Amino acid sequence: MNKKSNYSMRRRASMGILSIFILFSCLTMGEFYYFTSIIRNQTYSNLKNTLQVFNKQTDKEFSSLDTYLYGILTNNNDVAILEEGKMDTSYYVSVENIHSALQNALPSFPSLEGMFVFSKTSQVFIPYTSKTSVNECADYLKNLLRSSTGDIIKDKINLQKWNVQKIGNKYYLYRVIRFGTCYVGAWTNVDNLLSALNSNSESKTMIVSEAGKVQGNNEFSNLVLNPVSTQKSYKMVNSTSGVSYLMISDKFSSSDYYLLTLVPGKSLSEQLQYIKYSILIIGILILILGLFLTMVINRYLTRPLKSMMTAIDSLRKGNFNSRIILDSPAGIEFRQVESSFNDMVDAIKELKINVYEEQLNRKKAELLYLKSQVAPHFLINCLNTIYSLSANSENRGIIQKMTITLSEHLRYTLSGQTEVSLAEELRYVENYLSLSNLRYPDCMRYTLDIDPRTENASIFPMLILTFAENIVTHELVMGEVLCVSITSRLIETETSQRVHFTIIDSGEGFSEKFLNEVKNPDYAQKDENGHHIGIKNTIGRLRNVYGNDAEIRFSNEVDSGARVDIEIPYQPFHPENALRERSST
């Protein structure tokens, strides 16, 4: 007897729903991080493209500026006059001409604030700025160039690229080109240069040195960033106040500095609010659905199964007055099992009375056979299987199929028919094997090779089903595949037609003791503790129905298990001759 499992179906269902909710929460977090990564990558891609476009435009403008400045140094006669250092009329005219040239050229370079020409020989510094007042960067460059020799200037200024310098409270980007003792150049305020990129208040673009020092006055000036690490992918950094930022950078083509953009993580999270709320709503709906399914399972599966198990336990203890009474809503399948079970108990009670009142010796074997057919382990184990499967709502289809199959099997075995066709018998044999396959998944394979000419042959009920049940009862082992083969052939002679059945399994086979005993003509009349009651019953019925015109042989198949051969006269089945009990429909 199987040990009883003490657990609550409701608790199991609740734990299952909780597990699903936890799993959904984990999946939700995974999806949230996945979408976060997508948004970050998309933001990185968009801002990276923006930086590259800005860098390309700026580089194009600065390249044009270099061409213009080199032209001033090499092709402008006014610069040559300045280099002569003579303070005559031509000198002042040249100063005015250079100033006018710078004034005319500056609008062509919208990113610039000013331009200059400086002659070391005459110590004249000619600036032009777009502002009305003299720019502080112009004063810085004038003092630097006047106070330094050529080698010192080379050490202080990178004459090949643009330089960044903090002057006062502002940062400037400036360019200086030297030809002999003459210098030309231009400058611009860093904030003004990056104003187009910083028009969006949510992000901040700045110039950063390769060492990570921010070239500007903002809340990030105290941070040391690593622009090289975000050349190909984004990186999350925290400010001194603990705010998280997404960092993107691109190498400044015209200098040794980097363009770097910081995007607040908060602005990225706001894009996920819709997704977060959608996932939360879905989670709540799943939780509500889980609770609803628990109530449905409890109402339509757990309660009916509990009533069935109560009746089964009572029957197991020998109480033949036990009944399945479904007082809660139940499906057709449960109602069929209820009807079949109650009919079975009634039939058992009636047969139990008949055993003691009529034809004691003969009816005793039939009663034991019937009990072995319907009462004990097969029905109980099937209902136990259904009860266990009900713990998971996904098994509803299997439960329905199993209950219908079991109901049909019980209806057939309890029927009072005395004659059936071979086709009907085989249908219930296959029904029984299918039911056993549901109880023991992947443990049984069966084949039916039936001669179509034998399908309408008349036989008594359970002639073949008895051996199918015997095979499942004694040979089926969990974890091992049991093969069953059932064949029928029509044998025709000049005077008669006969039907030959063969039933072969892949089990352990018949013992030598049994094979010797079954050869005894009186074997069917012996009662040895109820052993082989189904086989004895079948042999007796064959003799009662066909007399000496029927034959049954038992043997072991080579390289297989047990083999049973049955041969009977062929008689067509006539439905009007099949007798049924009045209670059968």
Are 231 and 179 part of one and the same domain?
Answer: no
Token code pair at residue 262: 């910081």
Per-residue pLDDT at 401 = 76
pLDDT average, residue stretch 104-126: 90
Of 219, 243, 268, the last residue of a domain is 268
pLDDT above 90 (res 379)? no
Task: Please list, residue by residue across 246-264, b when 16 or more beta carbons sit within 10 angstroms of its beta carbon and e when fewer do.
Answer: bbbbbbbbbbebbbbbbbb
pLDDT average, residue stretch 201-215: 84
289 within domain boundaries: no
Are 406 and 458 part of one and the same domain?
Answer: no
Write the DSSP assignment of 452-514 as a string of letters.
Answer: GGGTTBEE-TTTTHHHHHHHHHHH--TTSPEEEEEEEEEEE-SS-EEEEEEEEESSS---HHH
Q: For the segment 259-284, what is each residue's pLDDT rounded down to a tens digit?
A: 888 888 777 666 556 666 777 777 77
Are 162 and 205 part of one and the same domain?
Answer: no
Could you tell me how many residues make up the chain?
585
Are 145 and 224 part of one and the same domain?
Answer: no
Q: For the segment 532-555, what is each residue's pLDDT rounded down to a tens digit?
A: 777 887 888 888 788 889 999 999
Are 74 and 177 part of one and the same domain?
Answer: yes
Are 162 and 231 part of one and the same domain?
Answer: no
Strand pairing category for 482-492 and 444-450: parallel
Number of domains in the chain: 4
Write the DSSP assignment of 178-221 as a string of letters.
Answer: EETTEEEEEEEEHHHHTTTGGGSTT-EEEEEETTSBB-SSSTTT
Q: How far apart are CA 93 and CA 80, in angstroms?
A: 12
Per-residue pLDDT at 51 = 86
Q: For the segment 486-530, what is each residue's pLDDT rounded down to a tens digit?
A: 999 999 988 899 999 999 999 899 989 888 888 887 776 665 555
pLDDT above 90 (res 72)? no
Of 136, 160, 192, the last residue of a domain is 192
579 within domain boundaries: no
Mean pLDDT of the chain: 79
Token code pair at residue 377: 């382990």
pLDDT average, residue stretch 212-225: 79
Are 45 and 164 part of one and the same domain?
Answer: yes
280 within domain boundaries: no
| Most confident range, picked from 66-80, 291-305, 498-512 | 498-512
Are 425 and 412 part of one and the same domain?
Answer: no
Of 416, 443, 472, the last residue of a domain is 416
Are 174 and 235 part of one and the same domain?
Answer: no
Half-sphere exposure of residue 329: CA atoms within 13 angstroms, side-chain side: 6
290 within domain boundaries: no
Range of the domain at 309: 301-416
pLDDT average, residue stretch 368-373: 44
- Are 45 and 230 within 8 A, CB to CB? no
Q: For the segment 37-52, what is each residue's pLDDT rounded down to a tens digit?
A: 777 788 888 888 888 8
181 within domain boundaries: yes
Identify the CATH number of the domain in which residue 556 sits: 3.30.565.10
411 within domain boundaries: yes
Alpha-helical segments (H) within 189-302: 190-193, 265-270, 273-297
Q: For the segment 397-429, what is each residue's pLDDT rounded down to a tens digit?
A: 777 877 877 777 677 666 667 788 999 989 988
78 within domain boundaries: yes
| H or E element that contains 352 | helix 332-357
Are 264 and 393 part of one and the same domain?
Answer: no
282 within domain boundaries: no
Are 308 and 395 part of one and the same domain?
Answer: yes
DSSP, collapsed to helix, strand or coil, labels residue 169 as coil
Per-residue pLDDT at 570 = 94
Are 484 and 528 part of one and the same domain?
Answer: yes
Closest CA to 502 of 573, 560, 583, 437: 560
Residue type at position 341: F
Identify the CATH number of the domain in which residue 234 sits: 3.30.450.20
Q: How far apart are CA 575 and CA 275, in angstroms?
A: 68
In sequence order, the 6+-apart residues with CB closer than 8 A to the CB of 295 are none
